């Protein structure tokens, strides 16, 4: 942590005239005077207590040493607010092009924290995605947030800075965990060995839709052909329920909760099915000669392992079914919220949802973005904007924590110095235990919160 802090101190704005801030407003780093941050922000939860404790204790120490406020924020709220950070950065660039990094806020913070195209329709979809992900305007409340990562799958209705309600969540494994687990068995060992890292979810996407620029260097060059998604979204609820059956090998995958309208996510069954297929489990295949339409239907995968082409097919279908499952609950939420606008037009919670924020590590998956956009367009929600942060801001990062702290700081909120890390911290005020961003002890307000 110490070397990281040393590097971070060098990023603080330089103090142009030593003494101009009265002596107490500067920090010395590498022999140079730098402006002291207005506050220190850190993740308080939810997460692993050991990791949270390291960050929280470090942040407390800095806050005490610099005599500045502490902001201990909610990790998932930070993800939801990331598009607002992107807008601020873009506004900062417009105001000061020469500035390498900028913010629309006057506050400064220190933080700590744990395609291709195939046809005309694909080209149109790609252009629309670029418009969506650009986030040209500030994301205003209310909006829906699809927070998807290795540990979380949440659909959240955000009505204000500290007013969030969970509409759907995963009750077993998260979407990112599903992708990682499936990637470990679908990806050929040689592909994983040639990869520069073990970011399994990203590797699965690259394997499913290979490009000459994105695949591991020197791996099976004959199989690398730039190609598009060739995706046709389900246009009805009935279309969503259809089981996919491989014409080549006969295995099948059924969408999660295909006979249920429950507002929740379920990826455990899909994960188990993919593993059964890769093990050659007879229960995952039809009887020999039955139902698949291909000459290899019903063959034992252990005796006849899946080829690269077969594995690529399984990777694509697994992601498609998982992402359509996310989109199905998003569509249900949009339809459920829409009638309220006609009944009454008072209050921000009753305004039409015009924006869907997709954040978290899995939000970097371009195929997910493509499917969400295509399904919303096909089902009557073409006017709803999908806002995704740039890929480098999708994964957990200190920038999003700093921004969450900045929004809380400017709304007047501060954290007591005796706050402790929280392993489970429901974002929804109606959640179990102490729910909601402000539902836990340790917050106090220095002024009337703005916009609450």
- Kindly indicate the confidence band of residue 338, based on its pLDDT and cuts at 50, 70 and 90: confident
User: CATH homologous superfamily for 1-92+395-445?
Assistant: ATPase, nucleotide binding domain (3.30.420.40)
pLDDT at position 132: 52
Beta strands in 24-162 (DSSP E): 26-29, 32-35, 39-45, 70-74, 109-112, 143-148, 153-160
Average pLDDT, the chain: 81
pLDDT-derived band at 296 (thresholds 50, 70, 90) equals very low
Given a cut of 60, whether residue 154 has pLDDT beyond it is yes
* Cα 67 from Cα 86, distance rounded (Å): 29
The domain limits of the chain are 1-92+395-445, 143-289+301-340+350-387
Can you tell me the mean pLDDT for 45-70?
Answer: 94
pLDDT for position 390: 85
Indicate the range of 1-10, 39-48, 315-324, 357-366 predicted with least confidence: 1-10
Residue 89 in this model has a pLDDT that exceeds 70:
yes
For residue 382, pLDDT over 80 is answered with yes
> Was domain 143-289+301-340+350-387 assigned CATH 3.30.420.40?
yes
Lowest mean pLDDT among 4-8, 18-22, 226-230: 18-22
Confidence of residue 447 (pLDDT cuts 50, 70, 90): confident
> Taking 90 as the threshold, does the pLDDT of residue 93 lie above it?
no
Going by pLDDT thresholds of 50, 70 and 90, the confidence category of residue 339 is low
Query: What's the pLDDT score for residue 352?
Result: 77
* 404-441 as b/e: b if 16+ CB within 10 A: bbbbbbbbebbbeeebebbeebbbbbebeeebbbbbbe
Confidence of residue 193 (pLDDT cuts 50, 70, 90): very high
Candidates 159, 421, 152, 147; CA nearest to 440 is 421
Cα torsion 191, 195, 201, 202 to 10°: value is -120
- Among 104-118, 148-162, 240-254, 257-271, name the one with the lowest average pLDDT: 104-118
More confident residue, 452 or 3: 3
CB 33 within 8 A of CB 12: no
Least confident range from 73-82, 177-186, 226-235, 418-427: namely 226-235
pLDDT of residue 410: 94
Name the least confident of 199-213, 315-329, 403-417.
199-213
Nearest Cα to Cα of residue 42 among 304, 422, 346: 422
Rounded Cα gap, residues 418 and 416, in angstroms: 5
Instruction: Say how many Å lie between the first and final Cα of the chain, rounded.
Output: 36
Q: 216 has which bridge partners?
A: none
Torsion of CA 364, 398, 151, 188, to 10 degrees: 50
Burial of 254 (0-12, 13-18, 19+ CB in 10 A): middle
pLDDT at 252 over 90: yes
Asked if the domains 1-92+395-445 and 143-289+301-340+350-387 are classified in one and the same CATH topology, the answer is yes
For 201, left (φ over 0), alpha (ψ -120 to 50), or beta?
alpha
pLDDT band at 104 (very low <50, low <70, confident <90, very high): very low
- pTM as predicted: 0.80
Would you state the structure tokens that stand for residue 191, as one six-digit string? 């592909």
């Amino acid at each position: 942590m110490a070397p990281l802090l040393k590097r971070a101190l060098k990023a603080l704005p330089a103090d142009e005239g030593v003494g101009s801030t009265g002596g107490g407003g500067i920090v010395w780093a590498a022999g140079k005077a730098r402006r002291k941050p207005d506050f220190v922000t850190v993740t308080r939860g939810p997460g692993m207590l050991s990791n949270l404790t390291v960050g929280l204790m470090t942040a407390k120490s800095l806050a005490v040493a610099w005599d500045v406020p502490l902001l201990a924020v909610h990790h998932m709220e930070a993800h939801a607010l990331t598009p607002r950070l992107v807008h601020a950065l873009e506004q900062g660039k417009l105001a000061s092009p020469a500035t390498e990094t900028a913010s629309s806020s006057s506050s400064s913070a220190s933080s700590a924290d744990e395609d291709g195209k195939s046809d005309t329709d694909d080209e149109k979809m790609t252009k629309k995605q670029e418009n969506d992900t650009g986030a040209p305007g500030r994301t205003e409340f209310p909006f829906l947030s699809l927070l998807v990562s290795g540990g979380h799958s949440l659909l959240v209705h955000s009505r204000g800075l500290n007013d969030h309600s969970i509409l759907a969540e995963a009750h077993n494994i998260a979407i990112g965990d599903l992708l990682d687990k499936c990637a470990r068995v679908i990806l050929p060992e040689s592909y994983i060995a040639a990869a520069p890292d073990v970011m399994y979810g990203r590797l699965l996407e690259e394997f499913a839709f290979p490009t000459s620029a994105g695949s591991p260097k020197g791996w099976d060059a004959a199989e690398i052909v730039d190609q598009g998604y060739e995706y046709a979204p389900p246009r009805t609820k009935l279309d969503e329920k259809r089981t996919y059956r491989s014409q080549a090998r006969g295995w099948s995958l059924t969408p999660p909760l295909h006979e249920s309208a429950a507002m929740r996510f379920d990826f455990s069954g899909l994960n188990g099915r993919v593993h059964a297929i890769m093990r050659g489990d007879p229960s995952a295949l039809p009887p020999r000669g039955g139902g698949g339409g291909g000459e290899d239907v019903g063959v034992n995968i252990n005796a006849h392992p899946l080829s690269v082409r077969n594995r690529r097919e399984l990777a694509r279908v697994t992601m498609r079914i998982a992402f359509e499952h996310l989109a199905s609950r998003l569509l249900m939420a949009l339809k459920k919220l829409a009638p309220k606008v006609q009944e009454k037009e008072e209050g921000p919670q009753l305004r039409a949802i015009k924006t869907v924020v997709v954040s978290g590590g899995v939000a970097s998956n371009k195929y997910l973005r493509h499917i969400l956009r295509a399904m919303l367009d096909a089902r009557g929600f073409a006017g709803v904007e999908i806002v995704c942060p740039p890929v480098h801001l999708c994964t957990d990062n200190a920038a999003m924590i700093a921004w969450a702290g900045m929004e809380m700081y400017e709304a007047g909120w501060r954290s007591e110095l005796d706050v402790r890390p929280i392993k489970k911290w429901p974002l929804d005020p109606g959640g179990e235990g102490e729910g909601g961003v402000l539902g836990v002890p340790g917050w106090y307000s220095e002024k009337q919160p703005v916009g609450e």
